[in-house]
Chain A
Amino acid sequence: MKKNLINFIVTLIIAVILSQFLPWWHVMAAGFISAVFFSLNRAAVFYIPFLAIFIYWTIYAFWLSQANDFILAKKIAVLLPLGGSWFVLLLVTGCIGGIAAGVAALLGKQCRNLVKR
Chain B
Amino acid sequence: MKYFKSLLTLALTLAVFIGLNGKFGSTPPMGKFLSPNQGFWQNEQDENLSSTVQIDGLEDEVTVHYDEHLIPHVFAQNNADLYRAQGFLTAKHRLWQLEFQTFAAGGRLAEIFGEQALDYDRQERRRGMDFGAENALQKMKEDPETLSYIEAYRDGVNSYINQLKPKDYPVEYKLLDYAPEPWSIKKTALLLMYMTKMLAGRESDLEQTNALAKFGKERYDLLYPDFYDVNDPVIPKKTDWSFIDIEMPEAPENESSIDSISLTETIDKPHAQNGSNNWAVSGEKSYSGHPILANDPHLGLNLPAIWFVMQLATPEHNSYGATLPGALGIISGYNNHISWGETNATRDVIDWYKIEFKDDTRKEYKHDGQWKKTTQRIEEIKIRNKETLYDTIIYTHHGPVTYDHNFKGDNAKSGYAMQWVGHIGGNNQRTFLKLNEGKNYDDYLDALKSYTAPAQNFVFASTEGDIALWIQGKFPNKWEGQGKFLLDGSNPKHDWQSFIPQEFNAHTKNPERGFVSSANQHPVDASYPFYVYNDGYETYRNRVINDFFRAKDQFDIQDFKNLQNNNYNLKASELLPYIFDNMETSTLTNDETEILNTIKTWDFYSEIDQLAPSIWETWWTKLYKTVWDEFDADTMALEIPYTYQTIYMLKNHPKDELMDILSTPEKETAKDLFLITFKETAKELTEWRAEHGNYNWGAYKATFVGHLLQALPAFSRFDLHIGGDYNTVNAAAKNHGPSWRMIVEMTSPPTGYGIYPGGQSGNPGSKYYDNFIDRWAVGEYMDLLFMQSEKDTEQIIASQTLTPKQ
Contact = CB atoms under 8 A, between A and B. Distances in A.
B766 A71 contact: yes
B42 A64 contact: yes
A60 B46 contact: no
Contact of A103 (B12, B166, B714): B12
Interface string A4-40: 0000000000000001000111111000000000000
Measured as residues with beta carbon below 8 angstroms from the partner, the interface class of chain A is 35 or more
B6 A28 contact: no
Contact of B9 (A97, A100, A107): A107
B21 to A, nearest CB: 7
Given A24-B20, A24-B37, A106 B765 contact: no
Contacts of A28: 13, 16-17
Contact of B765 (A72, A97, A104, A114): A72
Given A24-B39, A107-B9, A107-B13, A64 B31 contact: no
B791 interface: no
A114 B171 CA distance: 42
B648 interface: no
A97 B715 CA distance: 25
Contact of A93 (B2, B36, B45, B166): B36
B36 A106 contact: no
B20 A78 contact: no
Interface string A64-105: 110111111101101100000000000011001101100110
Contacts of B46: 68
A71 B765 CA distance: 5
Interface in B34-69: 34-46
Interface of B is mostly: helix
A57 B175 CA distance: 19
Interface in B2-19: 2, 5-6, 9-10, 12-13, 16-17
Nearest to A57: B36
Nearest to B35: A24
B712 interface: yes
B182 to A, nearest CB: 22
Contacts of A109: 9
Contacts of A114: 2, 6
Residue among A27, A60, A75 with the most chain B CB within 10 A? A75
Contacts of A61: 34, 36, 41
Contacts of A26: 37
Given A75-B765, A100-B20, A65 B44 contact: yes
Interface residues of B, number: 39
A96 B44 contact: no
A23 B32 contact: yes
A107 B10 CA distance: 6
Contacts of B5: 110
Nearest to A26: B37
Given A100-B31, A113-B2, A106 B9 contact: yes
B35 A79 contact: no
Contacts of B166: 23
B37 A72 contact: no
B34 A96 contact: yes
B764 interface: yes
Contact of A65 (B6, B17, B41): B41
A103 B44 contact: no
Contacts of A68: 44-46, 765
Given A96-B34, A111-B6, A75 B764 contact: yes
A96 B20 contact: yes
Contacts of A73: 41, 44
A76 B32 CA distance: 14
Contacts of A19: 37
A72 B40 contact: yes
Contact of B34 (A23, A70, A78, A97): A97
B13 A104 contact: yes
A73 B714 CA distance: 10
Contacts, number: 115
B767 interface: yes
B34 A100 contact: no
A52 to B, nearest CB: 14
B661 interface: no
B39 to A, nearest CB: 7
Given A25-B21, A67-B45, A100-B31, A110 B36 contact: no
B713 interface: yes
B30 interface: yes
A34 B261 CA distance: 71
A72 B43 contact: yes
Interface string B140-173: 0000000000000000000000000010000100
Nearest to B11: A107
Given A68-B44, A100-B17, A100-B31, A24 B764 contact: no
A103 B35 CA distance: 16
A25 to B, nearest CB: 6
B32 A100 contact: no
A109 B12 CA distance: 13
Contacts of B171: 72
A110 B10 CA distance: 9
Contacts of A24: 20-21, 31-32, 34-35, 37-39
Given A72-B40, A75-B714, A106 B35 contact: no
Given A23-B166, A114-B6, A79 B712 contact: yes
Nearest to B46: A68
Give the most central of B6, B13, B41, B46: most A CB within 10 Å.
Answer: B41
Nearest to A73: B44
Contacts of B765: 68, 71-72, 75
A51 B412 CA distance: 66
Contacts of B39: 24
Nearest to A56: B36
Nearest to A78: B714
A64 B713 contact: no
A28 B767 CA distance: 34
A103 B45 contact: no
Contacts of B42: 64
Contacts of B175: 79
A95 to B, nearest CB: 9
Contacts of B40: 72, 76
A19 B44 CA distance: 18
B200 to A, nearest CB: 35
Interface in B498-523: none
Given A71-B766, A96-B30, A113-B2, A57 B35 contact: yes
Q: Which of A27, A69, A73, A79 has the most CB of B within 10 A?
A: A79
A18 to B, nearest CB: 9
Contacts of B45: 64, 67-68
A106 B713 contact: no
Contacts of A113: 2, 6
B36 A64 contact: yes
B326 to A, nearest CB: 25
Contact of A64 (B9, B17, B44): B44
A103 B13 contact: yes
Nearest to A74: B714
A99 B13 CA distance: 10
Nearest to A61: B36
A96 B41 CA distance: 14
Contacts of B715: 75, 79
A71 B763 CA distance: 10
Nearest to B763: A72
A75 B16 CA distance: 26
B6 A110 contact: yes
In the A-B complex, list the 3 residue pairs whose CB atoms are closest, starting with the nearest.
A72-B765, A24-B35, A79-B714
19 contacts: A24-B20, A25-B20, A27-B35, A28-B17, A64-B42, A64-B45, A69-B767, A72-B40, A72-B43, A72-B765, A73-B44, A75-B715, A79-B712, A97-B31, A104-B16, A106-B9, A110-B5, A110-B10, A117-B2
Given A65-B41, A72-B44, 11 more contacts: A19-B37, A23-B32, A23-B38, A61-B34, A64-B41, A93-B34, A93-B36, A99-B16, A100-B16, A103-B16, A106-B13
